[in-house]
Amino acid sequence: MADDSWKDARVREAEEALAVAVRTADEIIADAQRAVVASLPPAPSGRPEPPEDDQPPILHDAW
């Protein structure tokens, strides 16, 4: 229905309350996502550390 003339004050009030609740939920989700990202360890930069074993790499003989 494109015509909103059927809406009375109770319907408009309920729509406004729902809009506030959705906006609040979106803010809570965004805050939680920021908290999770902040608690993650920093991403490694550059090349990964080589393994600590004494064995040569598998492709050692190919060189």
pLDDT tens profile 10-63? 998 999 999 888 888 889 999 999 998 888 887 777 776 766 766 666 665 555
Please tell me the distance from the alpha carbon of residue 53 to that of residue 63, in angstroms, as a whole number.
19
Total count of domains within the chain:
1
Q: Furthest-apart CA pair in the chain: how many Å?
A: 82
User: By residue range, what is the domain housing residue 30?
Assistant: 7-38
* Whole-structure pTM value: 0.43
Residue 17 lies inside a defined structural domain of this protein = yes
- Tens of pLDDT, residue by residue over 4-19, are 888 889 998 999 999 8
Task: With respect to residue 46, please indicate whether it lies within any of the assigned structural domains.
Answer: no
- Indicate whether 50 belongs to any domain: no
- Give the CA angle between residues 25, 38, 30 to the nearest 5°: 15
Residue 32 domain-assigned? Answer: yes
